[in-house]
Structure 1
Amino acid sequence: MRDATYYVATSLDGRIAAPDGDWSAFPVEGDHMATIVGEYTDTLPGHVQSALGLTADCSMFDTVLMGWSTYTPALDVGIDSPYPHLRQVVASSRDRTVPDDVELTADPLGRLRELKQEDGTGIWVAGGGTLAGAVIDEIDHLVLKINPVVLGAGIPVLGSTTYAARDFRRTRLRSFESGVVIAEYSRAGG
Structure 2
Amino acid sequence: MRRVIYDVAVSRDGFIAGPNGDVSIFPHTGEHVDAYNERLLTYDTVIMGRHTYEFGYQFGLPAGAKAYPHMRHLIFSEGIQLPQDAEVETVRADFATRVEELKNEQGGDIYLCGGGMFAGLLAESNLIDVLRLKVAPVVCGGGTPLFANVSERIDLTCLSSKLYESGVEYCEFTLQ
Could you state the TM-score of these two structures normalised by the residue count of structure 2? 0.89
2:3 aligned residue = 3
1:104 aligned onto 2:86? no
| Number of corresponding residues | 169
Gaps of 5+ in 1: 43-59
1:182 aligned residue = 170
1:28 aligned residue = 28
Distance apart, 1:18 and its partner CA: 1.4
1:61 aligned onto 2:48? no
Inter-CA distance 179–89: structure 2 relative to 1 (3 Å threshold) = same
CA distance in 2, matches of 1:31, 1:4: 24
The AA in structure 2 aligned to 1:40 is: R
1:71 aligned onto 2:53? yes
Contact 1:133 1:163 in 2 (8 A): no
CA distance in 2, matches of 1:111, 1:22: 30
- The residue matched to 1:110 in structure 2 has which SS? helix
Could you state the TM-score of these two structures normalised by the residue count of structure 1? 0.83
Gaps of 5+ in 2: none
- The residue matched to 1:162 in structure 2 has which SS? coil
Contact 2:6 2:114 in 1 (8 A): yes
- The residue matched to 1:84 in structure 2 has which SS? coil
Q: Which of the numbers 142, 149, 157 marks the counterpart of 2:146?
A: 157
1:140 aligned onto 2:129? yes
CA distance in 2, matches of 1:23, 1:95: 22
Q: Which of the numbers 158, 163, 166 marks the counterpart of 1:170?
A: 158
Contact 2:61 2:67 in 1 (8 A): no
1:81 aligned onto 2:66? yes
2:40 aligned residue = 41
The AA in structure 1 aligned to 2:101 is: E
CA distance in 1, matches of 2:76, 2:32: 30
Inter-CA distance 31–78: structure 2 relative to 1 (3 Å threshold) = closer
**Aligned Cα root-mean-square deviation (Å):** 1.5
1:55 aligned residue = none
- The residue matched to 2:113 in structure 1 has which SS? strand
CA distance in 1, matches of 2:29, 2:2: 32
- How far does the alpha carbon of each residue in 1:66-102 deviate from its partner, in whole angstroms, 9 at most, with x for none? 1111111223424332122101001112152244320
The AA in structure 2 aligned to 1:8 is: V
Q: Which of the numbers 80, 83, 90 marks the counterpart of 2:75?
A: 90
